[in-house]
Amino acid sequence: MSILTAVRLSARPSAAFFSLGLFWGCWAAYVPVVKGGLGVSDGTFGLLLLGSACGLVSAMWIAPRTDRALGARAMQVLAACFALAWLLPTLAPSEAAFFAALVVVGLCSGLLDVTMNSRVSELEAQTGRSLMNGAHGMFSVGYTLGAVFAGFAREAGLPPVGALLCVAVVVVVGLVPRMRQEPHVVPHPEGGRGRYPLVPILLCGGVVLAAFMTEAATEAWSALHIERTLGGRAAEGALGPAMLGLTMSIGRFGGQVVAERLREVQVVVAASALAAAGALVAAWAPAPVVAYLGFGMFGLGVSVIGPMGLALVGKMVPAHFRTEAISRAAVMGFSGFFFAPVIMGLVSQAAGLRWAFTAMAVLVACAVPLALALARRPVVSQPA
């Protein structure tokens, strides 16, 4: 199946993935500005970013119920809320307000993440085709464009609230109307729900966590690493997350093709090794151009790990557990987007950004043993 066919089949949730990418890419490039405006240390800034994790954990418990309540318009409503929520941290007058604003951002992000991943998994079950990498590839495309736009916006002197407002208008006006999709509800068996599939959820969630945690760390701190550690300018700093987004786009669309030919475990193991090597290259780069190479290697490797983990959890649990299982695994993984900056901030303050990125190289390699454990478990859900 071609990449274009996969994107066409998952067009509605892919619009949500693309929207999320636009915001995260724009935010990543503006991190040095936001941090400078708050006037806090690396460690304190990392702790403030933990506000998003608080919102995300809440999303884990209410996402399935919210999805059922909103029905076909779930992605539309949640994407619009997410777009508006991003304006809050840019307008926060204090550190406490910034933390509270990020709680709202994390909640909206988690709800939309779970819903759009569930829709893709439902489409995979209905069509019998692998679609998750292509959908996540659209996130990376959006992330790249968001980071590039933010780089130009920063050079032009546009503040964070202005840049994110521009992105919000594009999303609400141009993309939200395309996200309507009826959920595929699978009733519980007459004999009851059966045994809860905790083990596959934890294993798949761990794989996704290793990928997304290191991805988030690179997104949030790559610009600062290039500008502060390597002496790059604002535009050079923005090119760090842009390079990551570009190579992740290539990796995920390439992974869409690879997933049709190789077992997920084989791909996860190889991708983890490449991502770890790339993180080390970026960590110890002597100049921005070498860091770009490292971020590119990391992006190619890490790009396929998370989507394959989410696709696997949809296959390894009974169909009536699918949305709930994806909710749990996804939030485990997406919590990495918020815990990683905290860890990066603390390690950076203690030992510098070079050692912080080295720690991320070790973390992404942890996906290997988890993937090998998943290889010994059976596939449960079949195409509907």
Read off the pLDDT of residues 210-251 as tens digits, 9 standing for 90 and up.
998 888 778 777 888 888 888 887 777 877 877 877 888 788
Give domain status of residue 218, yes or no.
yes
Give domain status of residue 230, yes or no.
yes
CATH of the domain at 21: 1.20.1250.20
Nearest 5°: CA angle at 222, between 217 and 225? Answer: 115
Give domain status of residue 381, yes or no.
no
Give domain status of residue 191, yes or no.
no
Q: Among 278-282, 330-334, 346-350, which is the least confidently predicted range? A: 330-334
Total structural domains within the chain: 1
Query: Mean per-residue pLDDT for 133-153?
Result: 85
Residue 261's Cβ-count burial label (10 Å; 0-12, 13-18, 19+) is exposed
Three-state DSSP at 378 gives coil
End-to-end CA distance of the chain: 19
Q: What is the pLDDT of residue 199?
A: 84
pLDDT at 374 over 50: yes
Global pTM value = 0.72
Most confident of 128-142, 207-221, 353-367: 353-367
What's phi and psi for 380, nearest 5 deg?
Answer: -105, -55
Give the helix/strand (H/E) hosting 244.
Answer: helix 234-258
Give domain status of residue 245, yes or no.
yes
Please answer whether residues 21 and 146 qualify as being in contact, where contact means their C-beta atoms are separated by less than 8 angstroms: yes
Q: What is the pLDDT of residue 187?
A: 58
Full residue range of the structural domain in which residue 313 is found? 3-183+197-374
Give domain status of residue 380, yes or no.
no
Give domain status of residue 259, yes or no.
yes
Give domain status of residue 115, yes or no.
yes
Please write the tens of the pLDDT for every residue from 180-215. Answer: 988 766 655 655 566 777 888 888 889 989 998 888
pLDDT at 307 over 80: yes
Instruction: Report the 10 Å Cβ neighbour count for 39.
Output: 9
